[in-house]
Structure 1
Amino acid sequence: MASKKILICGGAGFIGSHLVDRFIAEGHEVDVVDNLSTGTLANLADARNAAGRFKFQNIAIESSEFAELVSLRRPNIIVNLVSFSPSHAHLHGALSSMELSVAVLEAARLAGVEKVVSAIPGGLLYGEVAVRDLPIKEGHLNDARIGEEIFARAASDIHSVYRERHGVEFTVLAMGNVYGPRQRTEDGVVAAFVDALANGRAPIVHGNGKQSRDFIYIDDTVDALARATERAGGLVVNVGTGISTSVADLWATMAGAASPVPRTSTARPNDLARMSLSPVRARIQLGWSP
């Protein structure tokens, strides 16, 4: 696409920093807003060398400063990676995430931003599903079991409200379990397993290890996010492989037959038994496949 001004909320984090690198390589002008609660400036080392095409702002999305910045910078596109980050994986955090989604959309409305692309974990958006319903399609919504799922769905729905009432275009991406370089060990099981292997110790597995997830590599994720800035307006689109892999099988594949037996711990509250996301809509609407 032609060169654009793109503002990334959470751009110093794992996913955001890779997306920053992608956009800068494509010749876009990139603003990053991040309060560095989980992200780091080290993740932006390459981007900071892009003279004249990169700016960083350490401010909170919920502050008045954010809306003022968006009005001042007038980006064409906002990518929101802050809402429902791993640091918000609890009820109060989910409520805050919904409020952050509204703050981003309202700032976009006031500044006349062309489009908002938001990422929400697929596990929160869809909740627990039966095996027969895998891989999950975008239209499949069970009754929300917990507050976190209620707030995630509300955050997704509020994008439609802003589109219908205020003309703010959007795409919401329902994300699988993203993994890859720069991911913190506390934010993903793949990163935790890599750390365990590097240090020659058995990892901790919460529950019995039979819980399954849709693991998607960071490069594929960034490609979907970049494509969503131009396509799939007004839609929720899955970013996943459609393949469900158990945590136990993941460890066996990564570590091999001689690997130490994982240490078990109690299952996390409200942990999903299974998850995989159908990539069919992404293939049609984004021209994307993992």
Structure 2
Amino acid sequence: MGAVGPRAEVRNSVIGASAVVPDGVHLDGARLPDPAADADASSEADDDAVGGRPVLVVGGAGFIGSHLVDRLVAEGVAVDVVDDLSTGSLANLADARAAARGRSELHIHTLDATAAELAELITLRRPTQIFHLALLARPGPGALDHGRSFTSMLAVLDAARRCGVEKVVVALPATAIYGYPSAREVPVKEGPLQPRGVRGVVAKAIVDLLTVYREQWGIEFTALAVASVYGARQRPEGGVVAASLHAAARGEVARLSGDGRQTRDFLYVDDAVDALVRAGQRGSGLVVNVGTGVQTSLRELWSAVAPDGVGASFGPARPDELGRFALSSVRARIHLGWSPWTSLDDGLTELRAR
């Protein structure tokens, strides 16, 4: 890993030489270097680089990923971010870039998570841990888009196998992997995965793939089954909390699917990031639920954010709509030493204050 000093870098989707503008942002990579030559050239610099070998965050310019990068940089960890900026934004990394100056090392690579160059990047940078937060990020895309998440995971694991990555941590949508739990099964505990729809099938396949690489090649993993995360930087289309706050700020009527009595487990992003960081060192070989265990209906959510006199409209329920859902985090408490600390009321108050 070439030492760059206390500044942030942005590279485009090819790894190579680039011009440096005054603020330390790398633009316009020109070529792919020879991996063996670069690995040799960077090995000596690794010992002196701030934070040592880096941590790689795939999807690091996105909603959750950028908050994780903030946390890692604040702790003095050297970080490589990979993001194609299709839903993420460099603006999400403004705080991390400012904090990295004089404290940590931050490289930002504009790169698709399924691109062949990602494996080369992993080989060159030799991260100790990889956080893959670009898996099944949205429920909307079609089956082929979900399949790309599996392809990306396979490429990451194969590169990790070749270059000594110690741990891979992934975040998966909990609502897609536990089927349709009955009321008495909520909050849901970890158990046999019962995928719901194509998204859930791919999520289960990713867990199976992680298990195989752990058993055959010793690559440790933790798969976090994450509740409905909300917080700063989330786009309105990214979650029901962000959508509700967006509508409320404009005095608009919320448009909710179904009757609004379906419940979800809303997890504040700072709490989710704390679980991710802990999973980097603990919980190996496990699927671990990360949620509050508290059910909140969509009607209750809207009542908490809506201006006086602004109601909600209700449309047909989606064919695959879950009724009641929340997660038990007992395993997270035991194996990660993690518990949520932000109530929904406190989280909403924090967001309104921004």
TM-score (norm 1): 0.94
Letter in 2 for 1:172: A
- Distance (Å, rounded) in 1 between the aligned partners of 2:338 and 2:141: 28
1:39-68 CA deviation, whole Å, 9 max, x = no partner? 000000122231360000011121110000
Aligned residues: 287
- Distance (Å, rounded) in 1 between the aligned partners of 2:52 and 2:234: 28
Tell me the residue number matched to 2:337. 287
1:107 aligns with 2:159: yes
Counterpart contact for 1:3–1:27, Cα < 8 Å: no
- Distance (Å, rounded) in 2 between the aligned partners of 1:209 and 1:105: 40
Tell me the residue number matched to 1:275. 325
- Distance (Å, rounded) in 2 between the aligned partners of 1:36 and 1:107: 22
Counterpart contact for 2:225–2:290, Cα < 8 Å: yes
1:191 aligns with 2:276: no
1:79 aligns with 2:131: yes
1:35 aligns with 2:61: no
Counterpart contact for 1:88–1:97, Cα < 8 Å: no
Q: CA deviation at 1:11?
A: 0.2
Q: CA deviation at 1:87?
A: 6.4
- Distance (Å, rounded) in 1 between the aligned partners of 2:312 and 2:219: 47
Out of 264, 270, 290, the residue aligned to residue 219 of structure 1 is: 270
Q: CA deviation at 1:274?
A: 2.0
In the TM superposition, 1:82-101 aligns within 5 A as 82-86=134-138, 89-101=141-153
1:162-213 CA deviation, whole Å, 9 max, x = no partner? 0001111100000000000000000101001111111111111112111111
- Distance (Å, rounded) in 2 between the aligned partners of 1:88 and 1:26: 35
Q: CA deviation at 1:3?
A: 6.1
Where 1:38 maps in the other structure, the secondary structure is: coil
Q: CA deviation at 1:4?
A: 5.2
Counterpart contact for 2:193–2:204, Cα < 8 Å: no
1:58-107 CA deviation, whole Å, 9 max, x = no partner? 11121110000000000000000001111665422222222222122112
RMSD over aligned CA atoms reads 1.6
- Distance (Å, rounded) in 2 between the aligned partners of 1:162 and 1:177: 28
Q: In the superposition, relative to structure 1, how do residues 100 and 268 fare at CA in structure 2: closer, same or farther (>3 Å)?
A: farther
Counterpart contact for 1:88–1:94, Cα < 8 Å: no
Tell me the residue number matched to 2:16. none
Letter in 1 for 2:188: I
Counterpart contact for 2:136–2:199, Cα < 8 Å: no
Counterpart contact for 2:226–2:290, Cα < 8 Å: yes
Counterpart contact for 2:265–2:326, Cα < 8 Å: yes
Tell me the residue number matched to 1:10. 59
- Distance (Å, rounded) in 2 between the aligned partners of 1:212 and 1:222: 23
Tell me the residue number matched to 1:69. 121
1:255 aligns with 2:306: yes
Tell me the residue number matched to 2:188. 136
- Distance (Å, rounded) in 1 between the aligned partners of 2:77 and 2:339: 24
- Distance (Å, rounded) in 2 between the aligned partners of 1:145 and 1:192: 24
Counterpart contact for 1:252–1:259, Cα < 8 Å: no
Higher relative contact order (CA 8 A, sep 6+): 1
Tell me the residue number matched to 1:25. 74
- Distance (Å, rounded) in 1 between the aligned partners of 2:287 and 2:151: 19
Out of 160, 169, 187, the residue aligned to residue 211 of structure 2 is: 160
Deviates more, 1:217-226 or 1:204-213: 204-213
- Distance (Å, rounded) in 1 between the aligned partners of 2:293 and 2:53: 32
Letter in 1 for 2:202: F
Counterpart contact for 2:114–2:148, Cα < 8 Å: no
Deviates more, 1:86-95 or 1:183-192: 86-95
1:96-130 CA deviation, whole Å, 9 max, x = no partner? 22222212211211221000000000011212111
- Distance (Å, rounded) in 2 between the aligned partners of 1:244 and 1:104: 35
TM-score (norm 2): 0.78
Q: In the superposition, relative to structure 1, how do residues 202 and 95 fare at CA in structure 2: closer, same or farther (>3 Å)?
A: same
Where 1:219 maps in the other structure, the secondary structure is: helix
Q: In the superposition, relative to structure 1, how do residues 16 and 190 fare at CA in structure 2: closer, same or farther (>3 Å)?
A: same
Tell me the residue number matched to 2:257. 206
Letter in 2 for 1:289: S
1:53 aligns with 2:105: yes
Provide structure 1 residue ranges, at least 5 long, that are not aligned to the other structure: none
Q: In the superposition, relative to structure 1, how do residues 48 and 140 fare at CA in structure 2: closer, same or farther (>3 Å)?
A: same
